[in-house]
Structure 1
Amino acid sequence: MENANIKVLVVLLSIWISCVQAQTGTFSAVLAFGDSILDTGNNNLLMTVSRGNFLPYGRDFPHRIPTGRFGNGRVLSDLVASGLGVKDLLPAFRSPFLKNSELATGVCFASGGSGLDKFTASIQGVIWVQDQVSDFQRYLEKLNQQVGDAAKVKEIIANAVILVSAGNNDLAITYFSTPKRQTRYTVQAYTDMLIGWKTTFINSLYDLGARKFAILGTLPLGCLPGARQITGNLICLPNVNYGARVYNDKVANLVNQYNQRLPNGKFVYIDMYNSLLEVINNPSQYGFTTAKPCCCSVMTPIPCLRSGSHVFWDFAHPSEKAYKTVLP
């Protein structure tokens, strides 16, 4: 099941190349932007509680190293990069250990806890998505110095997969956990604002040469362990899931608009909501024993023995096995 799903994603993304550049058979790089679903360690040196560079995080990572990834092992950005044959692990751009030799095959700019709403990032002291664009510009400067050929750099960026996960924290933290936001904006109005910010963000990357985008929808936020603990783990929060569905529908529509409006680009929407919800509702069918978290929550103060039997690693993040399972 896991390997099959990875292969399906690889096939899906490979279709882009045949549509846009028939002569090119592989992707040059993976560049990841957004939140903790993709973050591989950009928060490690920030003054924030949104960090994963301590045990038991990274427990199943090579050499049991807590790298700053929000999970027990590899996260989604690593799995996509590996599945596409680009590289096994996607390094964090802000890592002091980043090697120049890694630049040409891609890096991660994502920041755990971040979002499209600047307030989402500022209240946690993490890297707002528009500031990630600034990091991308610095990356381009370093890449030009490393490659020494502007035309080659342009080709690398045009053939890179731009992986984006943004909106999870805006809805789960900023909107549904902030009464003032709910009083001031309806779900429809707030998600419209998110789409506006997302459009600005994608346009910024496109203007810098990015052409192949994989845009992730949000997870079923009302079914995350942190949300379900409010009801004693009995049910998912229907209002939060409703907000996620409203937003995801708008993201999918935005992707369609981009494909019509920018024929030189290729945009695909990745449904994380329904694929993960299916696993949460039927864990045993996918090789899991429970949808409860393995560690790091009030429900599991002591980490479980086998993270592979849990859909979730902690209160909000799927386990590595779950990421492999839900990839479309």
Structure 2
Amino acid sequence: MSRPTCRTVVVVVRWRLAAVAVVLAAVAMAAPALGETAPQKEGKEEKKKAMVTAAIVFGDSIMDPGNNNGLHTLIKANHPPYGKDFAGHQSTGRFSNGLIPSDFIAQGLNLKQLLPPYLGVEHTPEDLLTGVSFASGATGFDPLTPAIVSVITMEQQLEYFDEYRRKLVSITDEQKTQQIISGALFIVCAGTDDLANTYFTTPFRSLQYDIPSYVTLLLTSAESFLRNVSARGAQRIGFVGLPPIGCVPSQRTLGGGPARSCVPERNQAARLYNARAQEMVGRLGKEPGFPTLVYIDIYNIIQDLVDNGPAKYGFTETTHGCCGTGTVEVTALCDDRFVKVCDDVSERVFFDSYHPTQRAYKIIVDYIFDHYIQFLHL
């Protein structure tokens, strides 16, 4: 695809990801050891210059490092076996056995080793100055999606950002805060829970909308969200598309029949959303003054992990998660007090029935850096 002349760049690359996830054989390959802090890393080699002032993330469980921990919801990952391969085997609230994409993004930008949640932790000034994640597991662009499971809405994430901005001003001043915001990379990653859960799993939306009209509802909300992010001073935004939803273990179980095959209808819905999201990104990019906006396609890389995991990436299991049977175990149902956990997580694409493993996530984020970062003018 030729590079457009407008500031927004729409990049369509073949790769996939059914919900997000897959980290190459070990964090050791392209990332420091799990739990290694920034000071420890600096002691071994000179710290590289950060590519941006901060990383600021909005979205769902793929990017949630623990914002749900203090909520009255079942959608939490602050219990074992989540975090089994994190430093100290700590269950931080990350929906994986270790790190998640927001952490690898922060590392890739040379900012810090972990991108902290905005809620529930004591931040140092440096934590705030270099960015946080506002993402909440199981949220979405459809207002009904977070309401069903009592998690943080996308609008509330923007409100938390406004509060975060005021904290930056108190730490520095207005001018410095503007410099941090304008020099930051913003990532928006949501929509998977809308289709996988609200539309295909519950009856609420499927009785009201066909798939094309529901996609319209989601993208109308997504466009409004992007405009609100732009209005708050963002100059670089990465907008993440949907994975092959129908190939996630839980969706295979719910709709894939006895063979637990990928569910074509659910993957078709994700592809329709992605195609129209690319059109939206291109249209917004033609508007004068709109920030650099890059569409990030994860569908094909995740599909590749699922289809070619054994031969290409060394995974031995691509249809079941590590937790329990890997079919419906997620959040509260993925608990090592009640279910068995696989011995070698590195062999799995998925950790639970919905989320990838740390190793799979690393592969996905490496792909993003190889194919998309250049278009964000970093």
Q: TM-score, normalised by structure 2?
A: 0.78
**Distance in 2, Cα, partners of 1:232 & 1:156:** 52
Rounded Cα–Cα distance in structure 1 between residues aligned with 2:281 and 2:259: 34
Amino acid at match of 2:349: V
* Shift of residue 234, structure 1, vs aligned partner: 2.9
Choose from 193, 196, 210 the match for 2:234. 210
Structure 1 equivalent of residue 187 of structure 2: 163
Instruction: Indicate conservation of the 8 Å contact 1:286/1:325, yes or no.
Output: no
1:287 corresponds, among 311, 314, 320, to: 314
Deviation at 1:183, TM superposition (A): 2.3
Identity of aligned residues (%): 36
Residue 317 (structure 1) aligns with: 355
TM-score w.r.t. structure 1 length? Answer: 0.90
1:224 partnered with 2:248: yes
In structure 2, which of residues 159, 165, 178 is the aligned counterpart of residue 134 of structure 1?
A: 159
Cross-structure match for 2:284: 258
Instruction: Give the counterpart letter for 1:50 in structure 2.
Output: I
Q: Kindly tell me: are residues 131 and 62 of structure 1, through their superposed partners in 2, closer, same or farther at Cα, counting changes over 3 Å?
A: same
Aligned partners of 1:240, 1:252: CA distance in 2, in Å?
A: 19
CA contact (8 A) 1:225 1:233 kept: no
Alignment of 1:174-193 (within 5 A): 174-193=198-217
Distance 1:262-1:91 versus aligned 2 partners, 3 A rule: farther
2:131 equivalent among 101, 106, 119:
106
8 Å CA contact 2:50–2:110 kept in 1: the answer is no
Structure with higher RCO (Cα < 8 A, 6+ apart): 2
User: Which ranges in structure 1 are unaligned for 5 or more consecutive residues?
Assistant: 8-23
Length, aligned pairs only? 310
- The 1:141/1:296 distance shift into structure 2, 3 A limit, reads farther
Deviation at 1:101, TM superposition (A): 2.7
- Please give the residue correspondences for 1:78-157 in structure 2 after superposition, counting only pairs within 5 Å: 78-147=103-172, 149-157=173-181
CA deviation after TM superposition for structure 1 residue 298, in Å: 5.5
Give the aligned residue type for 1:177.
Answer: T
Tell me the secondary structure at the aligned position of residue 32 of structure 1: strand
Q: Which runs of 5+ in 2 are unaligned?
A: 1-22, 32-48, 330-338, 368-378
Confirm or deny: 8 A CA contact 2:196 2:245 kept in the other structure.
yes
CA pair 264-170 structure 1, distance change in 2 beyond 3 A: closer
**Shift of the alpha carbon at 1:253?**
1.5
After TM superposition, the runs of 4+ consecutive aligned structure 1 residues lying more than 6 A away are none
Q: Where does 1:7-26 land on structure 2 (aligned, <5 Å)?
A: 26=51
Whether the 8 Å CA contact 1:92–1:98 is kept in 2: the answer is no
More helix by share: 1
Q: Which residue of 2 aligns with 1:302?
A: 340
